[in-house]
Structure 1
Amino acid sequence: MQERKSPFQQLDFTLLFFLFVLMCISLVAIYSAATSEQYNVPASYFVQRQILWFAVGTVLLISAMVIDYEAFKKLSIPLYAVSMMLLIATHLFGIEVNGAQRWIGVPGLFTFQPSEFVKIFIIISMAHLLFVITRHPRPKTFTSDVIVVGKILGVGMPPFAFILIQPDLGTALVILSIIFIMILMAGVTFRMIGLLITIGLTGIASLVWLHNNAFAIFTQIIRPHQLSRIYAWLDPSANVGAEGYQLYHAIQGIGAGQLYGSGFGQGVKSQSGVIPELHTDFIFTVIAEEFGFIGATILMVVYFLLLYRMVLIAFTCNNTFGTYIVAGVVGLLVFQVFQNVGMTIGVVPITGLALPFISYGGSALVTNMLAIGLVLNVNIRTKHYMFGEEE
């Protein structure tokens, strides 16, 4: 027997609550960051614009819930085609900022980063691909795994390559994380997963060998500014005057926060203006310095609970297409949180990824809100049965 509930009754208000908490944390952190000496505008300027982006994101979140996600099966190929056209247009006509060509401008109106929306389109396209692949039982053989992985890579690698040459390593790695999650969801054997990990580690080892033995070839693969960031990550104190400047001061600021923090608007590093991009890529530094280990832990707990709710939605969904969509969104957000927090504390190299729902910005924020809308869409259309699933 099916339990009849209206879509409003099935709306996950707990998930929305955690999203609202992140919004509040974002506005507080951005206001504090905006009082830094590096900005010449009122602190309210960034807060007001962030509220506007949250409003736009909320509209997109609601819009993503209106259309039955089943309809996205028919739209997956057109969305993928739009993704590739946007990336090609960015490559040919994009606006170059700080040596990276990632933006497309609408004259007199606004600019946006197509690769942010491509992430959502790729999730939908891969979810449909996996739905088709797993609709019928397949033999658990290595050959079958190779075919499945080949199809997933065939969809994911073209946008990955276009984003990588912009260059935008951070977003390219996000695409890779989505690809990896989808490969796991495809149910491939541990032998295939081990092979893919081995290939990845071999690639990294090859780059290290080229760096030490064939540097001219290495520089054709890793650009000078990317290499500088790697050097800065490995030894920030030795590169304070170059790429390590931002990371060195960020780590000092986070350490100065200790257990309770220095207090709202009282961070020495945060308020002195020595950390560039404080309100965007390095917003976690503000939270950790001014609210301490306790404040940073609360933020991470909220993230965990938000993602946990999504995992529950994926598990309770009795439609594999919906499950794959939610899994893709979880992979998207988990990697971005790990990468952003990791780069501010020196665990991973700096890539310029925003902290989801916290960092100031437009394209990344509304894209993540759109992703949440897809998850809620899946949840409100999941049928619940008292005695198992419908045959």
Structure 2
Amino acid sequence: MRPVEEYKVVQDFLSRVCKQVRARTMHPEIREELLGHIEERTELLMLEGNAEEPAVQEAVKQMGAPEEIGKSLHLAHRPQLDWKLLVLLVLMTMIGLFGALSIDNAGTEILSDFFIRKLVFFCIGLIFLIVLYFLDYRKLKKYSGILFFITLCLMAMTEFYGTNTNGANLYLYFGPIVIPMLGTVSVFLLLLAGAGMKPASQWGPWEGVLQILYRGILPVFLYGWSDSMVYLFVYVLGFLMLTWTSKKNVKQFAVLTVFSLAGLAYILFTKRLYLMWRLEGLTDLEGNGGYHMRVIADAVSSAGWFGQGFAAPNPGIPFVYSDSIYPYLIYCFGWLFGIAVGMVVLLFLARMWSISSVLHDSYGKNIVTCIIVVLGLRLLIPIIMGLGVVPPVSLDFPFISYGGTNQILDMAAVGLLLSIYRRKNMIPSGMGEAAPMKAA
């Protein structure tokens, strides 16, 4: 029997269908699927006694109008905008701008114009979000290795030439631009690069050791050296999650976990005096180390269901524009408002998780996993810290607290999420290692 795809009538039919579908990457998969249907119909018609060529022509005819089929397939594979994630982002941004306006009017901070500054950084971040939304995220993969190396070099440079803040070099200056290199920036860049680098499923025994040293131990050492304990923990968790999703091997994951936790334990042991001081703030609210927790607890407990009102001054709360923005919002607008903020955060995290579940491109799935880890911890820790569950740490509240580089970076991360979601139906299923796509 002559191959069905060699018939001109079949070739014309497939070409007319694909002409309607703008997602060119889907054309081979569409052709293969339609060709399979034509072959099945042809075989049935031949079993009924039809000759081969008439059977092929009739099978194509039974498929229907190619333009209509193409249009329906185009609708199925067109770009998608995740409106749910976008709405939740707008809500958190509005909360942040409202909080900045309240701080400005309270007049208790040395710096002023937080609202204007936050609005400017939001607009810059919005530009990054839009650019990344339209950018094909898959083009970033080939730069993963060099991005990881450059990030490590910048982290080491920060250790030697960065600005000293509270005894640690965390910030790197490029003229007027200040970058918290040993904070959110490096964590995002390292994990984003790791998402596109050689997965754990392809590591050999010795290569695995080198990868653990290079991608696991070296960043941990740099974070530990700089006293960036929170971001060290975030990176370790992100690295382990990436390794697990790329190869769900319990033994390998156990070895990686042991190595990572051993390095983390060593770093924590060398910083034990600092940690004891932090824990004192949680257990001994009357001591000097518990001042931060004490004023936050007093502010939250005195808020009531509806708070003290817009721009209510509370000069006792330290870092009200960043680390302590959540308890300040509760103090001003009450427990109900605090619950509402928590619900928006949880919905935002759930939406990010749902995006991960509908992807069938392994690279995109890895990126979403990294963003969930980094944004998830940075969204949840300030909330539980504001409720007095964990000791205070220097960690900004994404989208809500005041910030320059971090706010731009967070908006860019959402743009990357939207870019991945936009193409979820435009990438052939054979390109990923995950399960077939589901509806979101």
Partner of 1:257: 303
Output one character per residue of 1:186-218: Cα deviation in whole Å (capped at 9) or x when no partner.
Answer: 34345666677677888898999xxxxxxxxx5
- For residues 370-389 of structure 1, the aligned pairs below 5 Å read 370-383=412-425, 389=429
Partner of 1:238: 286
Partner of 1:162: 222
Alpha carbon RMSD of aligned pairs, Å?
3.1
Change (3 A) 1:110 1:299: same
Deviation at 1:113, TM superposition (A): 1.2
Deviation at 1:313, TM superposition (A): 1.8
Partner of 2:91: 21
Preserved contact between residue 94 and residue 105 of structure 1 (Cα < 8 Å): yes
Partner of 2:134: 66
Question: Of the candidates 178, 193, 208, which is equivalent to residue 111 of structure 1?
Answer: 178
Question: Of the candidates 164, 189, 193, which is equivalent to residue 125 of structure 1?
Answer: 193
Residue type of the partner of 2:237? S
Deviation at 1:264, TM superposition (A): 2.3
Is the deviation greater in 273-282 or in 306-315?
306-315
Change (3 A) 1:245 1:376: same
Matched, 1:311 2:357: no
Is the deviation greater in 190-199 or in 23-32?
190-199
Deviation at 1:47, TM superposition (A): 0.4
Output one character per residue of 1:26-48: Cα deviation in whole Å (capped at 9) or x when no partner.
Answer: 01112223344531454xx0000
Partner Cα distance (2:104, 2:369) in 1: 35
Preserved contact between residue 76 and residue 121 of structure 1 (Cα < 8 Å): no
Give the 3-state SS of the residue equivalent to 1:318 in structure 2. coil
Question: Of the candidates 306, 318, 323, which is equivalent to residue 281 of structure 1?
Answer: 323
Query: TM-score, normalising length from structure 2?
Result: 0.73
Output one character per residue of 1:45-96: Cα deviation in whole Å (capped at 9) or x when no partner.
Answer: 0000001111111122223233321112210011111101110110111011
Partner Cα distance (1:81, 1:287) in 2: 40
- Structure with the bigger RCO (C-alpha within 8 Å, sep 6+) is 1
Change (3 A) 1:289 1:9: same
Partner of 1:213: none
Query: TM-score, normalising length from structure 1?
Result: 0.81
Partner Cα distance (1:30, 1:113) in 2: 21
Output one character per residue of 1:103-130: Cα deviation in whole Å (capped at 9) or x when no partner.
Answer: 11233x2322123322222222221236
Preserved contact between residue 30 and residue 47 of structure 1 (Cα < 8 Å): yes
Partner of 2:11: none
Change (3 A) 1:204 1:58: closer
Partner Cα distance (1:30, 1:20) in 2: 15
Is the deviation greater in 7-16 or in 146-155?
146-155
Deviation at 1:352, TM superposition (A): 0.4
- For residues 1-391 of structure 1, the aligned pairs below 5 Å read 1=30, 3-5=73-75, 9-36=79-106, 38-42=108-112, 45-107=113-175, 109-115=176-182, 116-129=184-197, 132-134=199-201, 151=211, 154-190=214-250, 221-222=270-271, 224-235=273-284, 237-239=285-287, 242-266=288-312, 271-383=313-425, 389=429
Preserved contact between residue 33 and residue 283 of structure 1 (Cα < 8 Å): no
Partner Cα distance (2:261, 2:155) in 1: 28
What 5-or-longer segments of structure 2 have no aligned partner?
A: 1-29, 31-71, 432-440
Partner Cα distance (1:226, 1:95) in 2: 23
Partner of 1:215: none
Partner Cα distance (1:12, 1:67) in 2: 15
